[in-house]
Each structure stands twice: as structure tokens, then as C-alpha cells.
Structure 1
Amino acid sequence: MSETFDRKKIIWTCRRGMLELDVILIPFAEQHFEHLSDEDKQLFVELLEQADPDLFNWIMGYGMPVEAKWHSLIEHIRKVMKVS
């Protein structure tokens, strides 16, 4: 069963107030969210619930979350948004 996600709400949630995250998360949500599987969409929504310093570290490649379920999604974000 396909889950319905509120695209506008997700994009709004990507506005973190931390420029480094905003310039990655907002374009990712606008350009790539709709192409994710329903499972990855749900993981992205859960990822957005995490603290800004953690998200920053993970997306910039300074570490990975303890929960392995987000690893491939974070790597995908880093790849498509060309975060090195």
C-alpha cells in the first residue's frame, strides 16, 4: 500500500535554520523525494526529526547514525547532492 506524504510539509520541515543543511535538504526534497521508495520516504521523514547537529555531521560525512536504517539514505543524499 502506497503511503501519502505531504510534499509541502516535508519541504517546510527541511528548512532547518542552519544554512548548511537548508542548501542540501530543501533541494533534495524538491528534486528527489518523489523518486524515493515509500520506505525511503518514511525514513527521510524520520531523518528530519533528528537534531540539526546530528544531521549536519551525518550529511557532511563526519559520522553516521547508530541506527543503520538511515545509512543508505544518507549516502544517497550525499551522492545526488554532490556532498564530498
Structure 2
Amino acid sequence: MSELSRMRWKCRRGLLELDLLLRDFLDHGYAELDADGRRCFDRMLDCPDAVLLEWLMGRIRPIDTDVAQLVDKIRSATTGGT
């Protein structure tokens, strides 16, 4: 299975909102990440859906600065940063 296929599978979540945000980023922003960014994205996807949703909706900020920067990139790529 290719890396992109594995990430696409891992982006499938239990919440439609997360599915849409993560799939959109995978299609429009993931390729721009360097190797560290891709590892961070993979690690981030191990977090519970409720936490991911809070981060991506901007309700709370991740403590890990690498994850926080990645969340900012995802939000900018998928929602225009709002």
C-alpha cells in the first residue's frame, strides 16, 4: 500500500466533519509537507476524534508545537484559515 493510500485510509474517521477536513487536506496540502511534517500528520491521526475536532475547529490548541503548526496548515488549506 502506498504512503498516500495508507494516509487516505487513516483519515477515515467516525465523524463526517473530520473525514471532510482531513481528506481535503490530504488532497490539497499533504504533498507540500516535508518528511517531518508527514510523520507529524501520521502521529496526529492517532489522536481521538474528539481531540482532532477540537483542534481543527480552533476550540483548543495542541500543546505540541509541531502539531499546532500542522493544525494551522490544515485549517488554512481546508477552511481558508477561519
- The 8 Å contact of residues 28 and 77 in structure 2, kept in 1 or not, is answered as no
Aligned length: 80
| Residues 25-53 of structure 1 deviation map (CA, whole Å, 9 limit, x = unaligned) | 01211222111111111100000000000
Greater relative contact order (CA < 8 Å, ≥ 6 in sequence): 2
Structure 1, unpaired ranges of 5+: none
> Is 2:73 the counterpart of 1:76?
yes
Aligned-residue RMSD, C-alpha: 1.3
Secondary structure of the corresponding residue to residue 17 of structure 1: coil
Once the two structures are superposed, the pairs formed by residues 1-84 of structure 1 within 5 Å of their partners are 6-82=3-79, 84=82
- The 8 Å contact of residues 11 and 29 in structure 1, kept in 2 or not, is answered as yes
Secondary structure of the corresponding residue to residue 16 of structure 1: coil
- What is the TM-score of this pair, normalised by structure 1? 0.87
Structure 1 stretches of at least 4 aligned residues deviating more than 3 Å after TM superposition? none
- What is the TM-score of this pair, normalised by structure 2? 0.89
Give the fraction of aligned pairs with identical amino acids, expressed as a percent: 29
